[in-house]
Chain A
Amino acid sequence: MNSILSRMSRNARLGLLACLLGLIAAFAGSPYSGTRVALDTVELAGIVEREVDHVLAADLADWIIQGKMDYRLIDLRSEEEFNQYHIPGAENVPLSGLPDYGLQRNEKIILYSGGGIHSAQAWFLLKADGYKAAYMLLGGLDEWKDQVLFPYVPAEPEPEQRASLDKMKEVSKFFGGSPQTGNNGDESYEGKPLPELKSPVLPDKPASSPVKRKKKEGC
């Protein structure tokens, strides 16, 4: 045996090794055995503590305007609420349907619900099932309304605030909302009733529908 090996060239030996590994592989079973990972609660707690588990409404708005398509936006509310209004590009998936919805474990997934509780619960479910890049929209749709659709803009802003306020106004208009101006700045706008949502005005699908999009990845 040794003499045969020593007479072979290095390439031939490597080839033989590859054949041997291939032969074992044929009987080894599925390489997907490492797919289900044990839940690492310490890691999860760390993620929550470092606050890297969520995205801000303003950031999401920017991504939608830029046409960034590297994420899936999941609306966890009921179909009725979804039809009434949803963030452009969102897909309606009820909490119970989430495991079978066909999300990939390596996709960037952004979850949102009305407030934040359902999305937080869904986030935990996904994390427990090995989804690596699940995020929630901080504050849910309420925050989206407050920060993006109907942001509070003081009537007489400080000069240094002006640029960012102008941007807020533009973003708000892009999504069919309207900035809220109030005379007394210290009164919270959150208590006020939100104006009617103008769903039809909204660009329902941003650049292309999520079904048709191709991922630009690979070589």
Chain B
Amino acid sequence: MNAPLYKFGFFGDGFSLIVAFVIGIGFGFFLERAGFGSPRKLMGQFYLTDLAVFKVMFTAIVTAMLGLFYLGWIGFVDMSLVYLPPTYLLPQITGGLILGVGFVVGGYCPGTSCVGVATGRLDAIVFLVGLMVGIFIFGEFYPVIEGFYNATAMGQVTIPEIWKISYGLIVLVVVLIAVGGFAGATRIEKLMSAKKGGLQT
């Protein structure tokens, strides 16, 4: 998160922790202010009564994507320096599903559970304890699952590279999906709240 300043040695380990702390507090603050410290708000996502999470995430994606694309295009940002997490297709799909199930069952995702703990929510504390237990179990079983963990390694790949299409086209498609999603989400929210009546924050 602190790249490139930390990575390239502009400051050391100690200072990077301070930077991480400040960024973390800021991230948590805005999550809380957006209402994401409440599992009711988050759960609205899955009952289709409140799609704020979807809208916030897609807004962030579209903003960052357009910003990076144009800054790279005018030569301000060297895109080859932007970190690409390597793709491990099957383990990542599995991990995503496990996280999704945990999200639905527990009412939090890892980041929002920390926000919930900060505001003193008991369910968030239970969730965080479960998260720690999960980390511990994963660590203990790592030698057993290491093969799968490193399976289907594809390296640092992007969709334009695999499908041989231009980056700009992907940008357009994602923007259209997002804007269509926003319009659709607002309509679905109205429809579902009218139907259910309950489960409001």
* Chain A interface residues (CB < 8 Å from chain B): 11, 15, 18-19, 21-23, 25-35, 37, 52, 70, 104-106, 108, 130, 132-133, 212, 214-215, 217-219
Contacts and interface: CB of A to CB of B under 8 A. Distances in A.
Contacts of A31: 68-70, 72-73, 79, 167-168
A21 B66 CA distance: 7
Interface magnitude class on chain B: 35 or more
Contacts of B4: 106, 132
Contacts of A29: 73, 166, 168
B72 A25 contact: no
Nearest to B156: A104
A25 B66 contact: yes
A105 B166 contact: no
Given A18-B66, A19-B175, A25-B69, 8 more contacts: A25-B73, A26-B166, A28-B69, A29-B168, A30-B166, A34-B77, A106-B83, A214-B88
A27 B149 CA distance: 39
B9 A218 contact: no
A16 B132 CA distance: 43
Contact of B171 (A25, A37, A105, A219): A25
Given A214-B150, A217-B85, A21 B72 contact: no
Given A19-B176, A34-B75, A52 B9 contact: yes
A90 to B, nearest CB: 20
Nearest to B10: A52
B182 A15 contact: yes
A37 B75 CA distance: 9
9 contacts: A21-B66, A25-B167, A28-B69, A29-B73, A34-B71, A34-B77, A106-B7, A214-B86, A218-B85
B162 interface: no
A18 B72 contact: no
Contact of A25 (B80, B85, B168): B168
A148 to B, nearest CB: 21
A21 B73 CA distance: 13
B178 interface: yes
Nearest to B82: A106
Given A26-B169, A31-B73, A33-B73, A133 B78 contact: no
Nearest to A21: B66
A133 B72 contact: no
Given A27-B168, A215-B86, A21 B81 contact: no
B8 interface: yes
Q: Which of B1, B80, B88 has the most CB of A within 10 A?
A: B80
B188 to A, nearest CB: 16
Contacts of A26: 166, 168-169, 171-172
B18 interface: no
A207 to B, nearest CB: 12
A31 B171 CA distance: 11
A32 B79 contact: yes
A32 B183 CA distance: 32
A108 B171 CA distance: 30
Interface in B36-90: 62, 66, 68-83, 85-86, 88
Contact of A215 (B85, B172, B174, B179): B85
Contacts of A133: 7-9
Given A108-B7, A133-B7, A37 B78 contact: yes
Nearest to A106: B81
B104 interface: no
Interface string B148-191: 01100000100000000011110110111011001100000000
B184 to A, nearest CB: 12
B59 to A, nearest CB: 9
